[in-house]
A and B are shown apart, each in its own frame.
Chain A
Amino acid sequence: MDGPVNRIMVYVDGSEQSITAAQYAVCLARSTGAELYALYIVNTRALSDLVNARIFLQAEQEEYQHDLESDADRYLQHAKQMGRDKGVAVKTLKASGTVNVEIKNMVKDNEIDLLVIGELSKIRSRRDELYNETERAMRSVPCSVLMVKDEDYVLDVYNKLT
């Protein structure tokens, strides 16, 4: 097929907002016929930063990395199941590193033309330190980005999809 949206990628990080985004992405893929990818990034950059800042012990870094790998598998399987329930094949992608960099790389490598992300926090501060990795990704990827809002509406749309 060849339409404005052929390859959708939804970024899931385990937050409720990202699960809502995955539901919406399934609906979009169904209605557009686009291929759907679900991506989880194991944030090894943050783990390293926490060890460097001495907030994490070495053993803690390993424990959390293991947790993140498990989370990745669980949430990606969940996304896959959400697609399967609605007749949409979801291809899963997993990477490690700095979240915004890896999202950008995955968008390029998989020729994604629409990135779907969960709702970001409202802008309540201009402090540079209070930035969000997903927001950085949104600003740096070369494709269009859709930020999914209104959890209740999305759940209703998803549930009505037969």
Chain B
Amino acid sequence: MAIIDLISSDVIRVPVKSVTKTEVIRELVDVLDKAGKIKDKDSVYNAVIARENMGSTGLEKGIAVPHAKTDKVKSLTMAIGIAPEGVDFDSLDGEPSKLFFLLLAQPDQSGPHIEALAEIARITRSASFCRLLLASENADEVVELFTED
């Protein structure tokens, strides 16, 4: 499964309203909850926070990839959040994070989970694509960016 199969406008939040790391994670978990992608949002939130407590997934250049294994999803699930103003996510370079990719997978789906994370790593290496994502004004524009040909 490619991450393009996980993207639809109901799992994208533009702009993210939260201003702290934990609030961003909560907001994106809520997005997945409203989209019917998860069963127990508190359990999912706790799983993501537990992973963050091991080390921040705030990378460089405004990218954050919070992720967790949880049995509260039926299959591989992703939410995307865009915060043009940036949020302190304890990132590697100390810069605020602006693009958030929250990825959840069942514990026995490690293969697809890892391939999806690797795919996110690849697309976020493209500075121009990240700039376009950041300039998106709504969820539909984000979907179009991923699907345009």
Q: Which A residues fall within an 8 A CB radius of B? A: 13-15, 17, 43, 46-47, 49-50, 53-57, 59-60, 64, 67-68, 71, 74, 121, 124-127, 129-130, 132-133
Contact = CB atoms under 8 A, between A and B. Distances in A.
Contact of A49 (B3, B112, B121, B148): B121
Task: Classify the interface of chain A: helix, strand, loop or mixed.
Answer: loop
Interface stretch (B17-25, B30-38, B53-61, B81-89): B53-61
Contact of A130 (B4, B55, B107): B4
A129 B129 contact: yes
Nearest to A44: B114
Interface of B: 1-5, 54-55, 57, 59-60, 65, 67, 92, 107-115, 117-123, 125-126, 129, 146-149
A127 B59 contact: no
B59 A53 contact: yes
Contacts of B54: 57, 59-60
A57 to B, nearest CB: 5
Nearest to A42: B111
A133 B1 contact: no
8 contacts: A50-B118, A54-B59, A60-B54, A68-B111, A124-B4, A129-B126, A130-B146, A132-B2
A125 B148 contact: yes
B114 A124 contact: no
Task: Classify the interface of chain B: helix, strand, loop or mixed.
Answer: helix
Nearest to B124: A53
Given A124-B147, A125-B146, A43 B112 contact: no
Contacts of B122: 129
Given A53-B59, A54-B92, A130 B123 contact: yes
B117 to A, nearest CB: 6
A15 B4 contact: no
B110 A67 contact: yes
B4 A53 contact: no
Contacts of A68: 110-111, 114
Given A14-B108, A124-B147, A127-B129, 14 more contacts: A14-B110, A43-B115, A43-B118, A55-B57, A55-B120, A57-B54, A57-B55, A59-B54, A64-B110, A68-B114, A124-B4, A129-B119, A130-B3, A132-B2
A54 B56 CA distance: 9
B111 A121 contact: no
A14 B109 contact: yes
Contacts of A64: 110, 113-114
B3 A71 contact: no
